[in-house]
Amino acid sequence: MLTEDGKHLYVSYVEYHNLIEKLALKVYRSGWEFDTILCLARGGLRPGDILSRIFDKPLAIMSTSSYRAQAGTEQGQLDIARYITTPRGEIAGRVLLVDDLADTGFTMEAVIKELRHKYPAIVELKSAVIWTKGKSTFESDYSVEHLPTSPWIHQPFEGYDRLKPDELLAKWKV
């Protein structure tokens, strides 16, 4: 649900999963065949996992981080992991790069540049995101929703960002 002022988008678990399914359909309908899904952790983990299951393709993971300041609401320096975790040796062939969103576009642009430089065995690379914000300089090959007002997206699992183990103990009285 987008707030009236267009500054916040609240997404339920049901809607979140529906959007991932719509993303899968966009990729499928394009007819593009790929060998591996490479997701950007953390935001791309859930969509990457679901797409990996739907397409029955191996899931590789590359960790990136830039939203650490102000409780994860402010973009800072981008850190890209030195290595990719993949079940099949080194990442190669046709790769679908997956993240949850293209916010400014900076992360996707930097990762694609890094992949093209460090992994020449990748012969074709396409990207997929659930959301593309209006302020993004990056246009993904596959995207479900374009958000012209560039709202802050409140994803359904964000409550875990603030939940601590002692609170779980109190909740479950374990």
2 assigned to some structural domain: no
pLDDT tens track for 69-100: 444 455 567 888 888 989 878 899 999 999 99
118 assigned to some structural domain: yes
- Looking at the structure of the chain, the number of domains it has is 1
93 assigned to some structural domain: yes
84 assigned to some structural domain: yes
- Which 3-state string (H, E, C) describes 32-61? CCCCEEEEEECCCHHHHHHHHHHHCCCEEE
Single out the residue of 98, 96, 88 nearest to residue 125, CA to CA: 96
104 assigned to some structural domain: yes
Distance CA(59)–CA(161), nearest Å, equals 24
161 assigned to some structural domain: yes
pLDDT tens track for 50-77: 999 999 999 999 998 775 444 445 556 7
1 assigned to some structural domain: no
Q: Which domain holds residue 165?
A: 8-172
Strands 74-80 and 59-68 come out as antiparallel
CATH number at residue 163: 3.40.50.2020
3 assigned to some structural domain: no
Single out the residue of 22, 64, 66, 24 nearest to residue 44, CA to CA: 64
